[in-house]
Structure 1
Amino acid sequence: MSTHNQAQSALYPGSFDPPTLGHLDIIRRAARIFRRLLVGVLWNADKNACFSPEERMTMLREATAGIAGVEIVSFDGLLVHYLQREGLRVVVRGIRAYTDFESELQMALLNRALLPDMETLFMIPAPEYGIISSRRVLEIASLGGEVSHMVPPNVAAMLARRFPARQDSE
């Protein structure tokens, strides 16, 4: 298989708890680069997730329904093991700030030490999405704040059900 053919597919892994407009920006743009983009929802029992892997996959499937070549999958364990099982060699990662870069670079170097022929493609989001993070979205939503400008409509609806509007007393 030629190098060109090997780069026809990529994996965009993450917790996506919940998916944000920043995630969708990276997904849309990566889907224009790769014929097949697997969006991999990490299942980590040690992590305190707000949404189950199934809920996150459903939110992502709904939000990416119109994007050609995108498949939503889930996996646990080592990323490099999943890449090997699926015959993938390219990982897409989004970077919002320098602090993201430092931790992502360390992870990419570690993964490359485990699987030397893998590549990590770092993508920066559109400027309007650079401040959005899943953790901040959950924090704002849990405190009754408006997050519809940070997440797809289906995710905003899930967050509204998970965190009913607070009735703070005056």
Structure 2
Amino acid sequence: MRRAVCPGSFDPITNGHLDIIGRASKLYDVVHVAVMINQSKKGLFTVDERIELIREVTADFGNVEVESFHGLLVDFCKQREIPAIVKGLRAVSDFDYELQMAQMNNGLSGVETLFVPTNPTYSFLSSSLVKEVATWGGDVSHLLPPTVHEALVKRLGER
């Protein structure tokens, strides 16, 4: 069985993330979406909320499993016998950082990293940018799955 992981914080998941996960789901039998737990950062959504949102928007793929992790991604991969990490690249600046991570991960465990160029429609997109624009009242509905957009608007209204 061919397995891969798409890691990230996904706070919140965007159409760019969803595009990469969807493309990976066509290449692998099982795609694990690993939601990073970072104790030093306070996310807009809790890890459990992010997991639930991701499960909702990836349900139609049929081969995506979503769970959280903390620590080294290679340990997550080793525990689940996942040989490949799939990462989307938006720009050359992403490549510089991701190449270092890929080489470190491979050196630590032999896990391979596959880089997928982002759909040009989403090349500028990040969760941070979406949150910032939405906080100031900008329309980000076209950048998020509808259920995620609803959750974002609701959460920002609670602040």
Q: Is 1:119 paired with 2:109?
A: no
Aligned pair partner of 1:60 in 30, 44, 54: 54
Q: Is 1:32 paired with 2:26?
A: yes
Q: Is 1:82 paired with 2:76?
A: yes
Q: Deviations over 1:23-81 (max 9, x none)?
A: 01001100000010001100110123111100110110111111121111111111111
8 Å CA contact 1:11, 1:40 repeated in 2: yes
Q: Secondary structure at the match of 2:157?
A: coil
Q: 2: distance between equivalents of 1:103 and 1:48?
A: 23
2:133 corresponding residue in structure 1:
140
Q: Shift of residue 164 of structure 1?
A: 2.4
Q: Secondary structure at the match of 1:73?
A: strand
TM-score (norm: length of structure 1): 0.90
Q: Shift of residue 17 of structure 1?
A: 0.7
Give the aligned CA root-mean-square deviation in angstroms. 1.4
Q: Shift of residue 131 of structure 1?
A: 1.1
Q: What runs of 5+ residues in structure 1 fail to find an aligned partner?
A: 166-170
Which residue type is aligned with residue 149 of structure 1? H
8 Å CA contact 1:144, 1:164 repeated in 2: no
Q: Is 1:95 paired with 2:98?
A: no
Q: Deviations over 1:111-145 (max 9, x none)?
A: 11211x21000011211111111110010111111
Whose radius of gyration is greater, 1 or 2? 1
Q: Shift of residue 152 of structure 1?
A: 0.4
Q: Percent identity at matched positions?
A: 44
Which residue type is aligned with residue 125 of structure 1? T
- Runs of 4+ in structure 1 over 6 Å off: none
Q: What runs of 5+ residues in structure 2 fail to find an aligned partner?
A: none
Which residue type is aligned with residue 49 of structure 1? G
Higher helix share: 2
Which residue type is aligned with residue 52 of structure 2? T
Q: Is 1:164 paired with 2:157?
A: yes
8 Å CA contact 2:105, 2:112 repeated in 1: no
8 Å CA contact 1:92, 1:122 repeated in 2: yes
